[in-house]
Amino acid sequence: MSFLSPLAFLFALSLPVVVVFYLLKRKRVVKLVPSSLLWQRFLAETQASAPLQRLRHNWLLLLQLMMLLLVVLALARPFFSGKTGEASLQIVILDASASMQATDESPSRFEKARAEVSRLVDGMKTGFSADNQQMLLMVAGANAEVRQSATSEKSALRRALQAAQVTDSPTRLAEALRVAETLTRDKPNAEIHLFSDGAGVDLSEFGTKDLRLVFHRVGTRGDNLGIVTLDVKPNPEDPTKRALFTSVANFSGSAAETTVELLFDGQVIEAKAVSVGATNTVPVAFVAAQDHDGIFTVRLTAKDDLPADNQASIVSLLPRPAKVLLVTKGNRFLEKALAASAPNVELSTATDLTDPEVKPDLVVLDDIAPAVWPSGNVLAIHVAATNWFEGGIGEMEAPGIVDWRNTHPLLRFVSFDNVQIASALAVKTPIWGVSLVDSPTSPLVLSGEIGRQRVVWVGFDTLQSTWPLRVSFPIFIANAVDWLNPATAKAGQFLIHAGDAFRLPLGDLGQHASAKVISSDGKVTDVPLGPQARELVFGETSRQGTYRVALGTNQLAFCANLLDATESAIAPRGELSLGRHGAVAATTMKRADLEWWRWFAVAALAVLMAEWWWYHRRTA
């Protein structure tokens, strides 16, 4: 047993004072009473012939001493240390991601976790003892943030805990655990306490590290329907309309029904009833007319444990014709695929690119190295600029296709089965690019950005392959034109995940001293812009919704959404995997330091009542 206030034992000096009062001679007080019959016993006990009388056995004295001793013990605040309260430094990580808004705990998982952290703070050993404890509080929401540095001051920890807020962003616990691991690396008597539901947590990178982690699981079930994807495209059958594609996932163990509503600028324009089987995902498509730039919103009407993923919005800009310049020696397959790639494509051809003033929306280089490389987006087929690849460019004969990334927008509905290639350029994957199609020794198709220039590189001559004879070829060209079109790239930058920074290239918007951003909750933020600023960066996007930006006379909007299937799968985990060979099982919450002063205070009150009863029993 230890004591939080050991100085309270100074009150024990009052114990001899009580004994002294019983030793002193009692002075007789003269009172006029009608009869002395009831006072005979009292007079007999108060007779004394000396200033100090001999101490005799007296139950009242014993009860008073016992009561006073219990009061002193209560003031000293004794406690017993629990198993989780022995570490001298406790790094507490409070998960503030979207799944912690689930209402299977009352009022929410986040509030339940905050209450458990508060009890852990209450049980800390503080005062003047040598085994004082310190706690550092981190909140892992949109970003990992240290809310309170290591301290023994409970009031500071409570203030920091009260100021923490839950977000609509996906889980980002790995960043917080990396910081916590560095803080505990050289401190053997330190622990990391994670308060989370474990949803969407990937800790495989900590498999080889000494992560002294205590996992406090929050949550009881995983009943949830959520919107996990949202996209808008021009309707190929009618350019005046837009096609919206979304998907609804059911993460519970039973089938669920809901209505998916489509809104444009806040007005409901269509609704569809859908039934989603247990642990299944259902795609939903809408076709809607659009006569001006606006915002489409899809939302679910079903009630579940997590409202944060029941709505998502996307900015939809009216399509405009794409100006495409094809530089080629003559490739009818490619020319026809480009002409049919999108509505209202303005296609022109040339045998070389010599005029730097020519600025189409995108340039397609078909096995021709131009005299002047374009500054805009480019699809380069069997050609490359000298600064694109390190280590030079080689040749390889009859490369086989071993894999391709069909999740990338460029390879949507694209398959490379039965595609043979006569020869291809051999390069190393550059830092600016992502390999989309692989041979055993070299990438065959790359995509990426160099500066602000989007590049799609195909390492082989399409006419020296069987690809143009496959249906996947015109589909790939259509995907490439859509991905490289600056209008598509511009629309894409207005859709972000909650918690990610919004970045807007200023470009033709001009120079401004500041911009004003109105958040989804109505908060107005002034973002200063320096005289040399080339882009607007706004990072306070932890809440989903539509954000309005005022930049001089320019008015625009962007949308922040959850759209994360792993975060919407809110079923709490029983353990966290640390790579292949390690795991951290969830533990139950224990009070780190259990104080007993309340019980001593109750016992003192009981003794006081016993003393009152005994006194009146004697004198009755």
pLDDT for 229-277, tens place per residue? 999 987 767 767 889 999 999 999 999 999 999 999 999 999 999 999 9
Q: Looking at the structure, tell me whether residues 165 and 63 fall in a common domain.
A: no
Beta bridge partners of 526: 516
pLDDT score at 620: 55
pLDDT digits (tens, 9 = 90+) for 521-560: 889 999 998 888 888 999 999 999 999 999 988 899 999 9
Q: Looking at the structure, tell me whether residues 479 and 331 fall in a common domain.
A: yes
For residue 6, pLDDT over 80 is answered with no
Query: What is the C-alpha separation between 135 and 94, in angstroms, rounded?
Result: 13
The reply to whether 317 falls in a domain is no
Distance of CA 136 to the CA centre of its chain: 19
Residue 444: closest CA among 433, 453, 452, 454: 433
Q: Looking at the structure, tell me whether residues 352 and 477 fall in a common domain.
A: yes
The reply to whether 274 falls in a domain is no
| Cα 571 to Cα 196, 278, 566, distances in angstroms | 11, 13, 10
What's the token pair of residue 271?
């609704």
pLDDT score at 48: 46
Domain end among 425, 453, 484: 484
Highest mean pLDDT: which of 164-168, 369-373, 505-509, 551-555? 164-168
The reply to whether 310 falls in a domain is no
Q: Looking at the structure, tell me whether residues 331 and 473 fall in a common domain.
A: yes
Q: Looking at the structure, tell me whether residues 335 and 402 fall in a common domain.
A: yes
pLDDT score at 580: 67
For residue 591, pLDDT over 50 is answered with no
Q: Where are the alpha helices (DSSP H) in 304-430?
A: 332-339
pLDDT score at 49: 46
- Indicate the average pLDDT of the chain: 85
Q: Are 263 and 244 in contact (CB under 8 A)?
A: no
Q: Which of 217-221, 319-323, 571-575 has the lowest mean pLDDT?
A: 319-323
Q: Looking at the structure, tell me whether residues 415 and 545 fall in a common domain.
A: no
**Average pLDDT rounded to a whole number, residues 345-361:** 81
Q: Looking at the structure, tell me whether residues 364 and 389 fall in a common domain.
A: yes
∠ CA(223), CA(119), CA(576), 5° rounding? 45
Better-predicted residue by pLDDT, 342 or 549: 549
pLDDT score at 84: 46
Better-predicted residue by pLDDT, 562 or 616: 562
Q: Looking at the structure, tell me whether residues 73 and 142 fall in a common domain.
A: no
CATH number of the domain where residue 548 is located? 2.60.40
pLDDT digits (tens, 9 = 90+) for 176-225: 988 998 888 888 889 999 999 987 777 777 766 778 889 999 999 999 99
pLDDT score at 357: 65
Residue 271: closest CA among 293, 244, 300, 292: 300
Q: Looking at the structure, tell me whether residues 522 and 480 fall in a common domain.
A: no
pLDDT score at 157: 95
For residue 490, pLDDT over 60 is answered with yes
Q: Looking at the structure, tell me whether residues 584 and 602 fall in a common domain.
A: no
The reply to whether 431 falls in a domain is yes
CATH number of the domain where residue 422 is located? 3.40.50.880
pLDDT digits (tens, 9 = 90+) for 125-154: 776 554 678 999 999 988 889 999 999 999
Domain end among 432, 449, 484: 484
pLDDT score at 132: 78
pLDDT score at 459: 95
Query: 64: helix, coil or strand?
Result: helix
Number of domains comprising the chain: 4
The reply to whether 76 falls in a domain is yes
For residue 590, pLDDT over 60 is answered with no
Better-predicted residue by pLDDT, 32 or 324: 324
pLDDT score at 379: 96
Q: Looking at the structure, tell me whether residues 136 and 175 fall in a common domain.
A: yes
For residue 592, pLDDT over 50 is answered with no
pLDDT score at 581: 63
For residue 38, pLDDT over 60 is answered with no
pLDDT score at 27: 59
Query: What is the C-alpha separation between 128 and 122, in angstroms, rounded?
Result: 16
The reply to whether 267 falls in a domain is no
Residue 215: closest CA among 358, 93, 97: 93
**Average pLDDT rounded to a whole number, residues 75-79:** 74
pLDDT digits (tens, 9 = 90+) for 414-427: 999 999 999 999 99
Better-predicted residue by pLDDT, 65 or 1: 65
Count H helices and E strands in the chain, helices first. Answer: 11, 34
Query: 598: helix, coil or strand?
Result: helix
Q: Which of 206-215, 440-449, 466-475, 541-550 has the lowest mean pLDDT?
A: 206-215
Query: What is the C-alpha separation between 537 and 47, in angstroms, rounded?
Result: 92
DSSP letter, residue 386: T
Q: Looking at the structure, tell me whether residues 470 and 497 fall in a common domain.
A: no
pLDDT score at 468: 95
The reply to whether 545 falls in a domain is yes
CATH number of the domain where residue 217 is located? 3.40.50.410
The reply to whether 260 falls in a domain is no
Q: Are 576 and 171 in contact (CB under 8 A)?
A: no
The alpha carbon torsion through 122, 127, 129, 131 (nearest 10 deg) reads 40
**Range of 63's domain?**
2-81+597-619
Domain end among 484, 509, 526: 484
For residue 101, pLDDT over 50 is answered with yes
